[in-house]
Amino acid sequence: MGPNSTDVNAPPDADRVNIFDTTLRDGEQSPGISLNAAEKVEIAQQLVRLGVDVIEAGFPIASPGDFEAVQAIARTVEGPVICGLARTHKADIDAAWGAVKDAERPRIHTFISTSDIHIEHQMQTDREDVKGQAKAAVTMARAYCDNVEFSPMDATRSDFEYTAEVLQIAIDAGATVINVPDTVGYATPEEYAAMWRRFYELVPDLLKVETSVHCHDDLGLAVANSYAGVMAGCRQVECAINGLGERAGNCSLEEIAMLIRVREDAHGFTTGINSREIARTSRLVSRLTGYPVQPNKAIVGRNAFAHESGIHQDGVLKERTTFEIMDAREVGFESNSIVLGKHSGRHALKDALEQLGYKVDGNALNSAFKTFKEVADRKKQVTALDLEAIVSDEMRDRADAHELASFEVTAATGKEPLARIGVSLPSGEEVVGESSGDGPIDAIFRAIQAAVGIESEMVKYTVEAVTGGEDALGEVTVQLRTNGALASGSGVATDIIEASARAYLRALSNSLEGAATREAEAATAEAAIERTGP
């Protein structure tokens, strides 16, 4: 037990809290996020460096692309448990096992709602049927896999006695992990802890399995509720990088991990998280998903360790702990110490990238080196943050995507900018489009539309500097809606216009891929499913 722990349910040596990361499943269900298999594998490999215990890699039945991504992670990522989500349908469980079976440590996570509002209105069935489905699903999953997790969705709005019956059924059928989620972010910390204490009373066999929390942030309480569950006896927290997830998101991995680390004196718990990888992981996920991190975000926001008040600045200069409860270096904000110049060679670049966790060889190294030289010619110094941005940007290019071949912006008649954009199509053909516009950015977007012949609705456009200074790399994020599909794309360059063009083309490719996936799913009744989960 921790020195001040009130937990009476977990065994006395259970001071280790396992971190279950659902960035690639629940996080990817955030509107506009569309990660391809290579990007998911890249994030999964970084999650290994971060030290997570479980990676929920996706929902394999959702689409062929999701199945392939989960399978790729299972086959290439070593260390953590690799988990696939499944409803209680046989097809879901078969797909989940097919996707994760090659993992070093596979897990099937199956779920079904236990709240009357879901049973009646969403599932249109009854309580007895839910109990039968739970038993059958866990039994099927356990026949495939020794590691099976079960979740009663919307548990915090369920009848506790009934949910306890379902939990007992799942344990009897062979579930090894029981997760009781606050699916709609409804509970308060006091209620969530009381719920768990009640379940431990009603289902003594919970002491024989691992118990888990999964909390959403609709009322801003996901981290607080997750912590309350830990204090009540749970030893797995389901969370996502940057708090990504359905609606308002999930429990933020970086926040719960640092809460446990910084306040170990209050509870005595630990995790396996390598905190120095937190900032890098946050930046990677932000770049690949197109979801910027708000400046005042705890732990990973750019203002997390900034001080504007003169009193605060004075105090920190005299003694950091006067106003900082964490050292920025604990979460990896010192990584900008790597600096390269325009005379640095391939070996220096490769060495710097390896220090950052990137193993780049062959054509990938040549491509990264070419981009590095282009950036270095415009910047005096290329820092670690710049290198991360460059490599992440290079990795986003796909053989089946629209790519920027050339661009030119000039002043046209009437002083409206005129853009001429060359685009490489997925077929390999290069097309060119020209257009004027209300400013250079509008002109290049119109020129791209003219080149590819596809109109898209601009939903969001953001630009941020990767580092400080006048010569900073610019990172642009574009969110588009194309044929009803919403997707984001990002681009990095010292020229904001070029970065914007790259971002637009990536968003276009992702949204077209999303639209095609939706059409394929709609073609068969089995594929046209509701993407949901605990």
CB atoms within 10 A of CB 142: 18
Q: Which residues contact 238 (CB under 8 A, 6 or more apart)?
A: 20, 22, 26, 56, 179, 181, 212, 213, 214, 215, 226, 250, 251, 534
Query: What pLDDT sits at residue 364?
Result: 79
Rounded to an integer, the average pLDDT of 70-93 is 98
Element (H, E) at 253: helix 253-262
Q: Are 434 and 419 in contact (CB under 8 A)?
A: yes
Residue 40's closest CA among 256, 288, 369, 253?
Answer: 288
Where are the extended beta strands (E) located within 216-329?
Answer: 236-239
Query: What pLDDT sits at residue 527?
Result: 41
Q: Which of 98-112, 346-360, 458-472 has the highest mean pLDDT?
A: 98-112
Among 117-126, 352-361, 375-384, 393-402, the minimum mean pLDDT is found in 393-402
Among 162-171, 284-293, 350-359, 476-485, the minimum mean pLDDT is found in 350-359
Query: Which letter, b or e, does each residue of 252-266 get, where b requires 16 or more Cβ atoms within 10 Å of its Cβ?
Result: bbbbbbbbbbeeeee
Residue scoring higher pLDDT (229 or 316): 229
**Helix residue ranges per DSSP H, 453-529:** 496-523
Confidence of residue 370 (pLDDT cuts 50, 70, 90): confident
Cα–Cα–Cα angle for 334, 339, 341, rounded to 5 degrees:
165
Q: Are 58 and 25 in contact (CB under 8 A)?
A: yes
For all residues of the chain together, what is the average pLDDT?
A: 87
**3-state DSSP assignment of residue 115:** coil
Give dist(CA 418, CA 500) in Å, integer.
15
CA distances, 77 to each of 17, 46, 81, 138, 354 (Å): 22, 10, 9, 25, 18
Residue 283's closest CA among 354, 385, 351, 368?
Answer: 385
Query: What pLDDT sits at residue 72?
Result: 97
